[in-house]
């Protein structure tokens, strides 16, 4: 691409070198994007968030962070909640979590009293069995319709299980109660995008585990139930499983035994930063090696899918980064967008179709504040992704410091590409140019000759790029405070107004002859409409 080629030559002699600017020190680097073809294709509604079952009594490390954020008690009349979901048009919402396998659906069969969760430390996850009243299910579905949300519901997969000698649970899934809920849902005319079986029962499990062979049989059973109840519908809900942590052998067996079409989506969970009580979470979030540590999981799961005959695709069904409800002023603060957006970028690169964040609201990792419902920084990071990053994922590398994370997609509903740049460095500004892979390779070859060095040594900065404009969205925190729950867009505070409306995102327009300036501890979305990318036509 001619308009990028000049900047490659301008930067070649000084990649990674520090030079003096008027206001700061900076280094130079290049984001090299291969726009010839997509390396993966994500869902249009790639961004997803979860709603959980945890009652107010759910506490971790002496802190009770869930408040009234449960499926059973969430205030559905809050205008910010409604507007926050509507802003995505649509937002996928996955209903599930640790307690989902202990929920009974009060459909009148078997007619047991509808008791709510009660704290009991002797029971799995510290709570007794709970219940979903159909009145509440009606309220939820009316809200989902009003908000335009796309719903995935996690079913109770522990019904009917018996303990086995190896410590796992066996016996076929008793699907009677789940089938009654599905039938009730269809009879009421409610739209469910997918039914997911179980939560964190795969591999070694969390609290309980089920063998892959039995789980596959249960998935096939769920598929049969859905096919029967939705037999008169042209489009049937997706079948998802297992909603657990990736275990290559276990996942491989589940996929093999549900081939070719009993399972639509294989879901896995991510809490790669460890417990929420960890005092080194910020260091982990800002460490490129820690972030890269998730690549094998994404890569290995895609390898299993590609080598099988299944039609199933991969989703991240739940991901809060730090387990046990996260960490206040870390997983709900500005710094967490570095981890979160890197996860979105990396997972999409490896073929993940949808990524569900734990949580929409609740705990210390909600996209919305549990008490006020006002958006935390990650909400705005996610909404910008949803609006700017298209489905087609482009191969992207960054030549320069390892503190810059770079991802590119075809622009959403626009020409060119959108580039995401994440600066993990708190003291250095990086000036970035964007170039195609072919132009970068040509420039390297030409620069290796003495004639080329002479030829390009005096080209002025503005040549070949004049007349082109790009749009930039710079995300920062006030005074560089990583623990701030306020996010700035191009220097202006993002906040809802008095009616609870989500603010508009206004980019700054920049002459293409200038490099992209990525400040310390900042995130930049860049829409580059003039980038020649055949994959985006």
Active-site residue set: 200, 318
What is the Cα–Cα distance from 102 to 99, expressed in whole angstroms? 5
Contacts of 291 (CB under 8 A, 6+ apart): 285, 339, 342, 346, 405
What is the Cα–Cα distance from 361 to 65, expressed in whole angstroms? 10
What is the Cα–Cα distance from 389 to 88, expressed in whole angstroms? 13
Of 161, 154, 213, 151, give the one whose Cα is nearest residue 178: 154
What is the Cα–Cα distance from 57 to 118, expressed in whole angstroms? 8
Tally Cβ neighbours within 10 Å of residue 312: 24
Angle at Cα 506 formed by Cα 39 and Cα 371, nearest 5°? 90
Q: Which residues pair with 394 in a beta bridge?
A: 408
- The 3-state secondary structure of 26-49, one letter per residue: EEEEEEEEECCCCCEECCCCCEEE
Phi, psi torsion values for 394, nearest 5 degrees: -110, 140
Burial of 400 (0-12, 13-18, 19+ CB in 10 A): buried
What is the Cα–Cα distance from 16 to 274, expressed in whole angstroms? 32
For residue 237 the two structure tokens come to 């809900």
The answer to whether the beta carbons of residues 472 and 420 sit under 8 Å apart is no
Contacts of 136 (CB under 8 A, 6+ apart): 71, 72
- In angstroms, the Cα distances linking 173 to 132, 159, 183, 417 are 19, 6, 17, 47
What is the Cα–Cα distance from 285 to 293, expressed in whole angstroms? 11
* Beta strands at 238-245 and 194-197: parallel, antiparallel or unpaired: parallel
Residue found by looking up tokens 């960490």 in the block: 327
State the DSSP H helix or E strand holding residue 51, giving kind and residue range, or none if neither: strand 47-51
């Amino acid at each position: 691409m001619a308009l990028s080629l000049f900047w490659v030559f301008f930067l070649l002699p000084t990649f990674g070198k520090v030079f003096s600017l008027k206001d700061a020190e900076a280094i130079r680097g290049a984001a090299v994007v291969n726009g010839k073809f997509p390396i993966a294709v994500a869902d249009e509604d790639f961004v997803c968030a979860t709603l959980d079952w945890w009652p107010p009594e759910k506490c971790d490390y002496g802190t009770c962070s869930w408040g009234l954020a449960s499926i059973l008690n969430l205030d559905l009349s809050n205008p910010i909640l409604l507007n926050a979901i509507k802003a995505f048009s649509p937002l996928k919402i996955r209903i599930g979590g640790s307690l989902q396998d202990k929920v009974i659906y009060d459909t009148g069969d078997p007619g047991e009293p509808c008791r709510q969760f009660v704290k009991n430390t002797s029971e799995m996850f510290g709570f007794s069995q709970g219940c979903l009243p159909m009145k509440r299910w009606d309220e939820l579905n009316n809200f989902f319709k009003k908000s335009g949300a796309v719903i995935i519901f996690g079913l109770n997969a522990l019904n009917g299980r018996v303990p086995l000698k190896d410590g796992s649970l066996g016996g076929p899934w008793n699907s009677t109660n789940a089938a009654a809920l599905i039938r009730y849902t269809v009879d009421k005319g409610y739209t469910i995008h997918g039914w997911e079986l179980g939560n964190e029962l795969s591999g070694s499990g969390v609290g309980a585990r089920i063998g892959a062979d039995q789980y596959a049989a249960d998935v096939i059973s769920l598929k049969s139930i859905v096919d029967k109840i939705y037999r008169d519908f042209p489009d049937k809900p997706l079948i998802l499983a297992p909603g657990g942590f990736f275990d290559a052998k276990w996942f491989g067996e589940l996929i093999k035994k549900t081939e070719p079409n009993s399972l639509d989506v294989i879901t896995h969970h991510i809490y790669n930063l460890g417990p929420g009580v960890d005092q080194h979470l910020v260091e982990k979030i800002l460490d490129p090696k820690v972030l890269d540590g998730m690549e094998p999981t994404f890569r290995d799961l895609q390898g299993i899918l590609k080598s099988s005959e299944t039609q199933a695709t991969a989703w991240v069904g739940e991901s809060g980064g730090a387990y046990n409800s996260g960490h206040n002023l870390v997983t709900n603060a500005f710094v967490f967008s570095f981890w979160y957006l890197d996860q979105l970028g990396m997972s999409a690169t490896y073929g993940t179709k949808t990524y569900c964040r734990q949580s929409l609201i609740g705990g210390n990792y909600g996209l919305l504040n549990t008490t006020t419902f006002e958006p935390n920084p990650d909400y705005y990071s996610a909404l910008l992704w949803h609006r700017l990053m298209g489905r087609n994922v482009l191969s992207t590398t960054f030549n320069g410091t390892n503190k810059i994370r770079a991802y590119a997609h075809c622009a959403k509903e626009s020409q060119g590409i959108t580039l995401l740049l994440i600066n993990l460095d708190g003291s250095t500004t990086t000036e970035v140019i964007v170039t195609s892979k072919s132009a970068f390779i040509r420039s390297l070859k030409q620069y290796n000759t003495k004639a080329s060095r002479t030829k390009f040594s005096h080209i002025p900065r503005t040549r070949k790029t004049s007349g082109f404009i790009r749009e930039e969205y710079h995300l920062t925190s006030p005074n560089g405070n990583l623990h701030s729950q306020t996010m700035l867009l191009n220097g202006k505070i993002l906040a809802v107004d008095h009616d609870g409306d989500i603010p508009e995102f206004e980019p700054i327009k920049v002459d293409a002859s200038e490099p992209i300036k990525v400040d310390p501890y900042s995130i930049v979305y860049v829409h580059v409409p003039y980038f020649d990318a055949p994959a985006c036509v």
